[in-house]
Amino acid sequence: MKDSLQVGIRYHHRFTVPASKTVPALYPEAPEFVAMPEVFATGFLVGFLEWACILALKPHLDWPAEQTVGTHIDVSHEAATPAGLEVMADVTLVEVDGRRLVFEVEASDGIDTIARGCHERVVIDRARFDARLEDKKP
């Protein structure tokens, strides 16, 4: 981790929602999901918020040897967003506790606030992480 990894880091991220990020696409194997409205899926919204946090942190890490993984998410999903709209995420690093990082996150679709909450990530050494993961494989 670089010395620049400090509370107060902010990032603004934009993404246009394609049909492939709507609820029916989340689990195409599940007929219950396929029958749902074509709106930005909560699962993909979480990934979008994680992506914004990753981009916020990347300049402050020894990338790609150091990376971050999500460990906790507490986010509301407050409004539906149809495919074709642009979503915007604003993330702010509010706590650094060793390798543990906490972000306040908020997203909108230009019409409504669609999400707000907090997200925690942990800095990992990618080689060590991969080695531990290899030990778990069947």
What are the residue numbers of the active site?
42, 50, 77
> Can you give the CATH number for the domain in which 71 is found?
3.10.129.10
The reply to whether 63 falls in a domain is yes
Would you say residue 67 lies in a domain?
yes
**How many domains is the chain partitioned into structurally?**
1
pLDDT tens-digit map of 124-135: 999 999 999 999
**What's the chain's average pLDDT?**
98
pLDDT in tens, 10-59: 999 999 999 999 999 999 999 999 999 999 999 999 999 999 999 999 99
In a domain, 1, yes or no: no
Nearest 5 degrees, angle CA 8-CA 9-CA 15? 135
CA distance 94 to 11: 12
Q: What is the pTM of this model?
A: 0.96
Residue 5 lies in a domain: no
Contact 121, 57 (CB under 8 A): yes
